[in-house]
Amino acid sequence: MIPVHLPAPRDGAWLGVMIEPHAVAGAAMIAVTIRPRAGQPIERKWFTYDAAALAWALDQADSRHLPLFDLRDNEAE
C-alpha cells in the first residue's frame, strides 16, 4: 500500500471556515477547514468538485456564524 501524506491544517489564531486547493497523491483536491470557537475541535473535509466544496463551506460558515476565507485562485479558471 502506498502511503498518502495529507497537508497539515493552517496554523494560527484564526476563527472561520477556510476553503483552499491542495494536491493529494497527484490529485487536485479542495479542503474545507473549520476552526470554530474555543473548546471545539478543528474539522476538515475533502472534496473533488469545486462547487460541492464551496456549497458546503458556505453552509458551514452561515450556520456557525463564522467568516469564510476562500483561498482558491479563481482567476486561473
Digitized pLDDT (tens) for each residue of the chain, 77 residues in all: 778 777 877 777 789 999 999 988 888 999 999 998 878 899 999 999 999 999 999 999 999 999 999 999 865 44
- What is the separation of C-alpha 5 from the centre of its chain, rounded to a whole number of angstroms? 16
**Structural domains of the chain, count:** 1
Full-model pTM: 0.82
User: Is residue 23 assigned to a domain?
Assistant: yes
**With 0-12 CB in 10 A as exposed, 13-18 as middle and 19+ as buried, what is 16?**
middle
User: Is residue 37 assigned to a domain?
Assistant: yes
Look up the domain containing 32 and give its range.
Answer: 16-76
CA-CA distances (angstroms) from residue 17 to 11, 25, 26, 30? Answer: 13, 24, 25, 13
User: Is residue 11 assigned to a domain?
Assistant: no
